Amino acid sequence: MISLYRPGNGILHRMPAGWKLALLAVAALLLSLPRLGIPGTVAVLVAVSVLYPVATLPLRALGEAWWRLRWLILVLGGALWLFTSATDAVVSTGRVVALLLLAELVTRTARMGDLLEVFRRIVRPLRRLGADPDAVALTLSLTIAMIPVIAGFATQVRDAQRARGVRLGPRAVLPLLVLTMKHADDVGDALAARGLAR
C-alpha cells in the first residue's frame, strides 16, 4: 500500500522489527528526559542522520527526509524562538526532527508486514478487553507510514504554488487536506479490496 520500505542488507535491515520499534520508543523517552542543550541536540541530529548511510540507504533518502521537514523546522523553531528562547527553539525542534527522522528510518528498513505482526503481538493480550489486534496493528502501522507521506504532499503543494507563482499562505492547508483525503480514500479502497475494511 504505502510502505516506504527499501530493500537492503545493512544492520538495520537485518534487525527484527520489534527491536526497531522498541529502540524508537526508548529514543523518544530518552529525548524527552534530559536537557540536551544546543551541542547535545546537534550531536543527536548528526547521530540520527548517520544511521541512514549505516542502514545502506542512499544519501538522497536522508536529504529528502530533511527537506520534507524544512517547514516544520522553520515554523516550530521560529515560533519557539519568538516566544521562548533560541536554546529552547533549537532543543525542542531538534527533538521532534530527530524522532521523525527515526520514524522514517524504521519505515524504510522494516517491511509493513513485519511491523503489523509486532503490533499484533503487542495488542493480543488486550483481546479479552474487546480490542481487535489486527485492526489496532493496521491503524498503528498506517499512522507511522503516513508521517512522511503527508510531508511529501505538503512538498507537492508548495512546489505547485511556486510553479504558478502564487503564495496561498494558510490557504495551502486546503489542497493539502484534499490530497490527504484522496489518499485516505485510496488506502480505504485498497483495504476493502483485500477484505481488511468495510
Q: How far apart are CA 150 and CA 86, in angstroms?
A: 28
Contact 51, 104 (CB under 8 A): no
Per-residue pLDDT of the chain (198 residues; tens, 9 = 90+): 345 667 777 788 888 888 888 888 888 888 887 777 889 999 999 999 999 998 888 888 889 889 888 878 888 888 889 888 888 889 999 999 998 899 888 888 888 777 777 777 777 777 777 767 667 666 766 766 676 677 677 777 777 777 777 665 666 667 777 777 777 777 777 666 766 555
Q: In terms of pTM, does the model score above 0.85?
A: no
Task: Mention every residue, 6+ apart, whose C-beta is less than 8 A from residue 179.
Answer: 153, 156, 157
